[in-house]
Amino acid sequence: METLIAASFDGFLLGAWNIGKVLLGLGFVIFVHELGHFLVAKACGVQCDKFYVGFDVPIKIGPLRLPGAIFKFQWGETEYGVGTIPLGGYVKMLGQDDNLNQAEEEAARIRTLNEDGEEVLNPRSYPAKNVPQRMAIISAGVIMNLIFGILMAAVAYKIGTPIQPASVGGVTYGSAAWEAGWESGYDLIGFSDADQDSFFYRYTWDLKYAVIGAGMEGSDAVTFRVVDRQRRPRSSDVVPVPVSADGKHRAVGIMNATNSTVALTTAFHDQKGEEVKPVLMPGDEVVEVEGTAISFDGYGPKEKRQRLGWEVQEAFAKNPGEPVQVKVLRAGSETALTIPPLKMQGPGFVLGIGPITAFQMGSKAVGLGFQLGDVIEKVNGVDLSSVGAVQLPQYLTAYDGQEVIFSVRRGSEEESALVEITVPDFQSGITHLARVPNAVGCLTSLGLAYSTNHLVTASSVEEILVGDELVATQYIKRADSSENVDNELFAVRSMSQYWTWFHVHGSSQLANPAFETKLVFEREGLNELVEIIPRWSALDDRYQPSRGVMFSPLQRVHQVEGLGEAISQGWIRTKQDLQRVGQTLGWIADGTASVKDLGGPVMIMKVAQDEASQSVTRLLLFLTMLSANLAILNFLPIPVLDGGHFVFLTIELITRKPVSERIQGTLSVMFMFLLLGFMVFIVFNDIARLWF
């Protein structure tokens, strides 16, 4: 109990420290913006009455009264403070007030008499300054955000920031990336012809944004620049495709790269069917497999490079039915271990093989005569109805080194024919079990992907008959589970190109303590659906290529040597963030994207806290992105924002006559309420997205 309390207290302190870092970081971004206004105003001789981070508006809710400021102090002519409402900041200059009720009073306050008795503006007031000076004051906040955005990114790159690189840890069979010939171990070094080559693009930011952008632009191809395992560069024009039924989510079909450190293991069954605890433990770092050392990632400081997880995964999958010898680092010591095979789990029935859906670039299958739409029915005269779609790749390992004759069904149902295709010296290759929703089957050595027809072709389950069609699945919470699970997970999902049997079968290999899977079948001549929760059991001579081991995400430290290179990288990052903000606003303006997709203060806090928990440098890069957002959003031509004031000044510069204070004040108040309403909408949208 004492250990549990100590761990909980340590976790609380760590969480509080991360939140503290986030609040300091966000406050600093706001402070820098207002500091820009303040310094240029002072340089132009403007009297600044207040300098606040946050807004000092008193809050009264019934008997509850909160002060306007958390703390404040007077220094010279300026009052400095931190406001209670943490939604921005402001510099109050003499003669400048966006509040319509106070604008006339402020205008009267700056009028004074000169030596001749004429009424003039106070020379230290904001309206007394010429238009170029006021433009400089208004734009200084944005400029400071950009400058410090570059500096924060430069500091992050100089110290060295860990990133999840845009590297290929695995390829989804039949996907656009698979068709392009990508493999595990590839690196994505650019997403357009204009991008600078870099091995430090981020999987969760740069890659995903490129994919999202292609979908927003109407399914445009992305010109990915990649390097293969031998470090040879090439370009691939890949079109991201929808991977959800609503078409909103798109992907190119790759999984993030991993290192060789074990993140999760599962128990396995021996030859007698008895459960045995896993040999590998979370935290073990695999350094050698079958006498071959695992390579280190080739980028970043040498002392911080990690070993490549994809090499371990391929070595485990090479002969999944045989034990494999490994060496691991455990608690700082090298240990030799034998990793046994892990049997594949089956539900007691198999679903039939569907048509060939895609070929890989340079596919051997195309040269041999396979065609899209062909359905593999027999191998060397043996009918495959009892093998099924999922087990086909491992079934074919028995034919390695032999001449294999594939009998494929070609043509429509009315006019189909059985065509024989001979493959000399067949080699089955390595095939992983796919767990992505739109997964398909693959014969990797031939470079062909195939689907399933979702029809039962063999069954030992009493409730399920040959000919039944799987039409839907649904996750059901286990009766003995107390775990909180997102209710959306329990929705009924129809079997389709976005939710396949390969995914359900692959996901069911690891038992989940929170829920189990219900399967829904249609039966010819039966008016009602057949529903079962299958009992998954070990299959003879079928094994999991992963051996029940999952590895941690690969991290690559982006660190530069000189100050000049750090500033250069900081500018590149800030420029990319600016471009993305502008592109996103463009999508919203033309209706391509919805404001519901935007994140507000709650999402900013969550993402910032996630980044801060990784490292201070990751938080700095997030603040760089936030600075770019703040710079552009603040300079939108909206009254009450800096951009709106700049528009009024531009009109004054052209017409040589200031816009009426009444018009400015009215528009400012109107848009202030609109922005507040929009902010409330965004906050509730954030809450709904995170908790509901």
The residue ranges of every structural domain in the chain are 258-343, 348-535
What region, left, alpha or beta, does residue 399 occupy, with left being phi > 0 and alpha being psi -120 to 50 degrees?
Answer: alpha
* Pair 634, 142: CB distance under 8 Å: yes
pLDDT at 274: 64
pLDDT at site 101: 63
User: How much is the pLDDT for 103?
Assistant: 65
pLDDT at residue number 219: 67
CB count within 10 Å of CB 607 equals 15
- Domain 348-535: state its class: mainly beta
Specify the pLDDT at position 455: 96
Q: How far apart are CA 503 and CA 50, in angstroms?
A: 60
pTM: 0.83
CA distances to 210, 348, 635 from 576, in Å: 11, 52, 18
- Between CA 583 and CA 633 the distance in angstroms is 12
Ramachandran angles phi, psi of 649, nearest 5°: -70, -35
User: Looking at the domain 258-343, which fold is it?
Assistant: Pdz3 Domain (2.30.42)
Find out whether 346 and 461 touch, Cβ atoms under 8 Å. no
- Please tell me the predicted confidence (pLDDT) of residue 472: 94
Q: Which residues of the chain have pLDDT under 70?
A: 1-15, 98-104, 113-117, 215-219, 244-248, 267-276, 481-489, 592-594, 597, 690-692
Question: Do 258-343 and 348-535 share a fold?
Answer: yes
Q: Which residue reads 């913006």 in tokens? A: 33
Buried/exposed code over 182-220 (b: 16+ C-beta within 10 A; e: otherwise): bbbbbbbbbbeeebeebbbbbbebbbebbbbbbbbeeee
